[in-house]
Amino acid sequence: MIKLLLPRQLVNRPSAPDEQRPFAQALPQAFERAYPLLRRAAMGSLPISLFGLLPSIFVLQVYDRVISRSATATLVALVAGIFCFLGVEYFLRARRSRALRNAGATIDHQVSGALLASLMRRPLRVLEARPTSAWLMLFRDVSAVRGTVTGGLMSAIFDLPMALFALIVIGIVAWPVLPVVLVFLGLMAFLAWWWADEVRAGRVEETARARDLDRIASEICRARETIKTLGQDAPVTELWRRSYDDWLTESFRKNGELENAREASTVLLTVFSVLAVTAGALAVTDQLMTVGSLMAVNMLAIKALSPVAGLATNWRLLARASEAAQRLETVLSEPVERADSGLNLPKPTGRLLLADVSFTFHENARPVFEGLNLQIGPTGLHVIVGRNGAGKSTLAKLLSGLYTPTKGQVRLDEYDLAQFSRGELAPWVSTLSQEVYWFSGPLIDTLRRTAPGQTDEQIFAACRLSGAHEFIARLPDGYHTEVGEGGAGLSVGERRKLALAQLFLRQPAVLVLDEPSNDLDFASEAALIAALSAVARQRTVIVVTHSLRLVSAATQIYHVRGDGQVEQGPPAAMVPRLFGVQRPLPAALPDMPSQAGVPA
Ligand SMILES: Nc1ncnc2c1ncn2[C@@H]1O[C@H](COP(=O)(O)OP(=O)(O)OP(=O)(O)O)[C@@H](O)[C@H]1O
């Protein structure tokens, strides 16, 4: 019964594990774990259902045995008995609720964990395909699925046997009213089924609009500074208002229908009471049943109808959970990144080779690179230049193994990057992306998370090298300063220096930095060039930049032409042609700091 009503994606039997889709079975596996708890709750529901009939039996006895015979002693015994049973019922109900709560927590724990793990193990290209709001919504979907086992829906399902027991008792003590009860039960069941379909049909549209609204709200929250600086309050408010109105109209219409349905069911229950009492009164007049049965039948009929009414009002929850489960199943069934290769390789020298590499974002899009052959390193400061949109960041991501070539191979030493997982590659090839996100919390904790096991001295050395140490030392709490979400409380340049320190801490064979001198002041850029030049003596350093000073310090320059090809040469030949100056800037600037402290 439970399995018939819950979302199909949850109750399906888990199939054999698939290496490419390790999280595809997360929903049924979670349900399988939670099922013993649900079964325990279902078992506990049988006595609860029986106890649920006792108040009506009590009323029947009071009318037929106590009042007519003035039997006070019987009344005392009945009251004592009913209180005992109510105490047991309370205990059983608390136990059932706890089992349901635990079942919900099991499902939530399993599915949220799988969702986060599948998020972490997705290739960058797949991650980029969904906006942040869509990912946030998926985490909310887990709560919707959990709600099917913890909410009123499951209690209504478990109380269904009570409906049957109530019907049996009505058949025994008040059979003339039974046809009225059965007709109403059928009517309520039909309404429950009909509303379910209505709800489901309307929810699709409402959900699509709610998603739109979520996306816009999340974008506004992220762009709050831009909105303020550009004074875009009015157009952005208009954009949000339009989406909000769309959603509200749909939700209002849908909720209106549901509320009408709910009100109708309340009125129907009253109509039913009137009809049941009328039928009962006629039967009492004809001496077909007693007054006690008439009083009891009203209570019994409510017990028979309430689980069905509970199902009807909770259909909306079930419809939402079904859609949520469908979305989760789709996302969790998507293939993830390659698993660890298990190869235990010596630390690479840092020579990168692109062999006949082509890369396209989409099937019908113009290729960003076509048949590219390049060799970079080992060691040296390699600078990638080119106009905006030429493909510099794309090349950097290909070299880091973040993007996989559509055709050809990117090799580190003699190994194809495509055969390694991101986890295996990260210690060899570390990347500083164009946009830096700094996690909230004490600075030292975020730094240490990059390279667990590093001593404080190693962390300080990396920060000295990136130029972060100076400003950290000036903060009142130094390395223990609490930073806000996304690095709030730090300047953009400071965040970049911290991100650089993280990169240095990992001590990889290859460092790929996308526009690292953006946001840095003149002296900090000079210090960065000195640090990178020093690191480049032992490691391969690849930098995407528009900075003439950084370009001038390069060992080799790679010009991404924007036609799918890359040309290369030393600064002396490339700088005058690409930057319109007579020669590269002098290598050593007077204010460059010492290069001590370069991690080995
Ligand atoms: N995720 C993406 N999906 C589709 N196309 C993309 C994506 N990212 C970049 N592109 C396109 O690929 C091309 C190369 O982009 P890339 O970011 O590599 O340029 P870039 O040289 O780094 O530019 P900039 O100097 O402005 O940072 C551009 O035409 C861009 O529009």
Walk me through the domains of the chain, giving residue ranges and CATH numbers.
19-332 (1.20.1560.10), 378-401+425-579 (3.40.50.300)
Q: Which of 222-226, 312-316, 328-332 has the highest mean pLDDT?
A: 328-332
Phi and psi torsions of 259, nearest 5°: -65, -40
Residue 108 has pLDDT above 50, yes or no: yes
| List of residues 6+ apart from 246 with CB closer than 8 A | 209, 212, 213
Task: Residue 473: count other Cβ atoms within 10 Å of its Cβ.
Answer: 12
**Alpha helices of 121-222 — where are they, by DSSP H?**
124-129, 132-150, 152-158, 160-173, 178-222
CA dihedral 508, 511, 517, 520 (to 10 degrees): -10
Neighbours of 22 (CB within 10 A): 17
Q: The tokens of 256 are what?
A: 């209106």
d(CA 262, CA 313): 7
Tokens representing residue 488 in the block:
């709030």
Q: What is the pLDDT of residues 389-447, one digit of tens each?
A: 999 999 999 999 999 999 999 999 988 998 888 888 888 999 998 888 888 899 999 99
Distance CA(550)–CA(31), nearest Å, equals 56
Backbone angles phi, psi at 293, to 5 degrees: -65, -40
Ligand 1 centroid–CA 215 distance in Å is 23
Q: How far is the CA of 179 from the centre of ligand 1 (A)?
A: 72
Report the distance separating Cα 271 and Cα 181, nearest Å: 11
The closest residue, in CA terms, to atom 4 on ligand 1 is 361
Banded pLDDT at 365 (limits 50, 70, 90): confident
Q: Give nearest CA residue, ligand 1 atom 25.
A: 388
Residue 218 CB partners (closer than 8 Å, separation 6+) = 131, 132, 133, 136
User: What's the CA gap between 165 and 453, in Å, rounded?
Assistant: 64
- Asked if the bond preceding 367 is cis, omega within 30° of 0, the reply is no
Q: β-strand 369-376 against 352-359: which pairing, if any?
A: antiparallel
The DSSP bridge partners found for residue 411 are: 353, 416
CB 352 within 8 A of CB 512: no
Residue 198 reports pLDDT greater than 80: no
Contact 187, 268 (CB under 8 A): yes
Average pLDDT over residues 208-216: 83
Beta strands in 417-459 (DSSP E): 429-432, 441-442
| For range 384-390, the mean pLDDT | 94
Question: Is the model's pLDDT at 30 over the cut of 70?
Answer: yes
* Centroid of ligand 1 to alpha carbon of 394 (angstroms): 6
ipTM higher than threshold 0.90: yes
Which of 126, 128, 388, 393 has most ligand 1 atoms within 8 Å of its beta carbon, as the pocket-test mutant?
393
Say how far apart CA 10 and CA 7 lie, in whole Å: 5
**Ligand 1 centre distance from Cα of residue 586 (Å):** 31
Specify the residue with its C-alpha closest to ligand 1, atom 19.
389
Query: d(Cα 196, Cα 143) in Å, to the nearest integer?
Result: 20
Q: If you measure from the C-alpha of residue 220 to the centroid of ligand 1, how many angstroms do you get, rounded to a whole number?
A: 23
Q: Whose CA is nearest to atom 29 of ligand 1?
A: 389
Record the pTM.
0.77
State the sign of the Cα–Cα–Cα–Cα dihedral 55, 57, 58, 62.
positive
Q: What is the pLDDT of residue 84?
A: 92
- Asked if residue 409 lies in contact with residue 416, where contact means CB atoms within 8 angstroms, the answer is yes
**How far apart, in whole angstroms, are the C-alpha atoms of residue 96 and residue 92?**
6
**Rounded to the nearest whole angstrom, what is the distance from the C-alpha of residue 314 to the centroid of ligand 1?**
48
CB atoms closer than 10 angstroms to residue 254: 18
Q: Which of 122, 383, 394 maximizes ligand 1 atoms within 8 Å of its Cβ, making it the mutation to test the pocket? A: 394
Mean pLDDT of 193-202: 65
For residue 552 the two structure tokens come to 């001038």
pLDDT, tens only, 515-555: 988 888 888 898 889 989 999 999 999 999 999 999 999 99
pLDDT tens track for 113-126: 999 999 988 888 88
Distance in angstroms (rounded) separating the CA atoms of residues 239 and 128: 24
Reported as a pLDDT band with limits 50, 70 and 90, residue 599 is: very low
Q: Give the sign of the dihedral formed by CA 122, CA 127, CA 132, CA 138.
A: negative
Query: How far away, in angstroms, is 366 Cα from ligand 1 center?
Result: 12
Closest of 348, 485, 319 to residue 411, by C-alpha = 348
Distance from CA of residue 464 to its chain's centroid?
A: 37
Determine the atom of ligand 1 nearest the C-alpha atom of 125: 1
**What is the average per-residue pLDDT within 498-506?**
90
Rounded Cα distance, 568 and 548, in Å: 16
For residues 398 and 410, what is the distance between their CA atoms, to the nearest angstrom?
7
Q: What average pLDDT does this structure show over 9-38?
A: 85
- Hey, whose CA ends up nearest to atom 14 of ligand 1? 391
Of 235-249, 297-311, 344-358, the range with the lowest mean pLDDT is: 297-311
Between the CA of 393 and the centroid of ligand 1 the distance, in Å, is: 7
Winning range, highest mean pLDDT, from 10-19, 68-77, 393-402: 393-402
pLDDT digits (tens, 9 = 90+) for 125-148: 888 888 887 888 899 899 888 888
How many angstroms does the Cα of residue 370 sit away from the middle of ligand 1? 15
Q: How many CB atoms lie within 10 A of CB 253?
A: 13
Token readout for 399 is 């070299």
Extract the tokens encoding 474. 């000036």
Least confident of 80-94, 288-302, 531-545, 574-588: 574-588
Q: Which residue has the higher pLDDT, 115 or 6?
A: 115
Ligand 1 binding residues, C-beta < 6 A: 128, 361, 368, 386, 388-394
Q: What angle do CA 529, 427, 21 make, to 5 degrees?
A: 130
Locate the ligand 1 atom nearest the alpha carbon of residue 395 and give its number: 18
Cβ contact 516:548 at 8 Å: no
